[in-house]
């Protein structure tokens, strides 16, 4: 009697453990699949992070190059501005010199005309005296003009 009782109870336990083992195996397989999927997603995210970091590094490198170029260009702009100011000062000094030369020319032409008129009239200083003093006066006038121009250039 005890033996048939064992037979009838054994398959019940066996079926219980077997069915619960199947469910555990299915759960384990699901967990393994989920773990594999999570690992794959993690690897994808790591690759994406690396790509983004590389893009960030490239962008930062470009920014540094652009900042260097901007700095160089700003220096060129400053130099051009200084050169333009110097050119403007030179143009002003040149215009003043031209005006001074024009006044001197006009003055010398009047003086020459006056001397010619006096010579024709037979009045005044002989021509040889005028010729010898004219270059000396012209040299003196040129020296003083240069001094005036130098002082005007120092003022600007």
- 100 CB burial (10 A radius; 0-12, 13-18, 19+): middle
- What are the tens digits of pLDDT across the range 3-25? 444 444 455 444 555 556 778 88
pLDDT in tens, 103-128: 888 888 888 888 778 878 876 555 45
Its pTM stands at: 0.46
Half-sphere exposure of residue 143: CA atoms within 13 angstroms, side-chain side: 6
How far apart (Å, rounded) are the C-alpha atoms in residues 24 and 27? 5
Kindly give, in sequence order, each residue whose CB lies less than 8 Å from that of residue 101, ignoring residues fewer than 6 positions away.
145
């Amino acid at each position: 009697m005890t033996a048939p009782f064992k037979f009838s109870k054994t398959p019940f336990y066996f079926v219980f453990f077997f069915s619960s083992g199947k469910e555990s195996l299915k759960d384990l397989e699901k967990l393994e699949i989920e773990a594999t999927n999570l690992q794959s997603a993690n690897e994808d995210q790591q690759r994406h992070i690396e790509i983004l970091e590389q893009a960030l590094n490239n962008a930062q490198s470009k920014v540094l190059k652009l900042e260097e170029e901007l700095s160089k260009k700003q220096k060129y702009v400053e130099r051009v501005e200084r050169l333009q100011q110097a050119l403007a000062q030179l143009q002003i000094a040149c215009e003043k010199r031209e005006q001074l030369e024009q006044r001197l020319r006009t003055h010398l032409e009047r003086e020459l005309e006056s001397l010619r008129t006096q010579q024709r009239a037979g009045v005044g200083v002989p021509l040889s005296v005028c010729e010898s003093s004219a270059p000396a006066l012209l040299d003196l006038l040129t020296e003083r003009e240069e001094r005036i121009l130098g002082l005007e250039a120092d003022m600007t």
